[in-house]
Amino acid sequence: MPQLTVSPQDKPLQNGLLLSITPETAGWSYVGFEIYRLEVGQKLRQATGDQEVCLVLLSGKAHVTTADNSWTNIGSRMSVFEQTPPYSVYVPNENRFEVEATTVLELAVCKAPGRGNHVSRLIAPGAVGVEVRGNGNTQRFIHNILPEQEPADSLLVVEVFTPEGHWSSYPPHKHDRDALPHESLLEETYYFRVQPDQGFAIQRVYTDDRSLDEAFAVKDGQAVLVPKGYHPVSAPPGYDVYYLNVMAGPTRKWKFHNDPEHEWITGK
């Protein structure tokens, strides 16, 4: 199995690329994920090919152009820890996009197979579903950027803010069986930011039979691959944790299964 943690470049490549996950490097079939840091005036251009794309402006502002639309100087937050919903752009397969940074820009490029069913569109902050999950030290704050209720072929995109000392993706749950209506098969990436940035998050990835059972101290800017199994996250005291999740699989539905050993927690 490929290594489950991916670290960013020490500095961006010439095109701004900081971190890249492909189905080939991940050893799976659906999810691709990239992080770019673009300086003012720098441009990123890509053809989407057979992939649909969700561009998430994590921080900063940009002009975004696709083959069928364009948007000027979008972006509303300078840090993910402002906890306001981001601007994002959905781009279908067999299309293209150009992003021109108008401030320093941290950009996530989320990818999964497309089937040509949609057009490019802006996902403005007001269109992002905001919710609170959990209570007490499992409370966390959710921005549903591209949930299953919104048009796309494969992609599911969500960001989560976990306050210091709290747990999220909790109770531990999984979605690694194509067994609807009970459970869906979804590959997943976690992209982490930590504040203050010298901190870390803890993530465990494990299966029922413990053939996979690993725990990671995840640093700011790192990503974790979840090919299967349960995958809870903890934010240590003193450090707020943000992560962006990208999921995709054979069916675009998020149906998870809690770890039976810990499901009792839901009834507290």
- C-alpha 223/C-alpha 192 separation (Å) is 6
Q: Write the DSSP assignment of 100-111 as a string of letters.
A: EESS-EEEEEEE
List per-residue pLDDT tens for the chain, 268 residues long: 679 999 999 999 999 999 999 999 999 999 999 999 999 999 999 999 999 999 999 999 999 999 999 999 999 999 999 999 999 999 999 999 999 999 999 999 999 999 988 999 999 999 999 999 999 999 999 999 999 999 999 999 999 999 999 999 999 999 999 999 999 999 999 999 999 999 999 999 999 999 999 999 999 999 999 999 999 999 999 999 999 999 999 999 999 999 999 999 988 6
Q: Residue 182, exposed/middle/buried by CB under 10 A (0-12, 13-18, 19+)?
A: exposed
Answer for the pair 61, 260: CB distance below 8 angstroms, yes or no: no
- Using alpha carbons, select from 57, 20, 251 the residue that is nearest to residue 143: 57
Kindly report, residue by residue over 46-98, the tens digit of the pLDDT: 999 999 999 999 999 999 999 999 999 999 999 999 999 999 999 999 999 99
Residue ranges making up the domain that contains 102: 5-265
- C-alpha 181/C-alpha 99 separation (Å) is 39
| CATH label of the domain that carries residue 207 | 2.60.120.10
Q: What domain count does the chain have?
A: 1
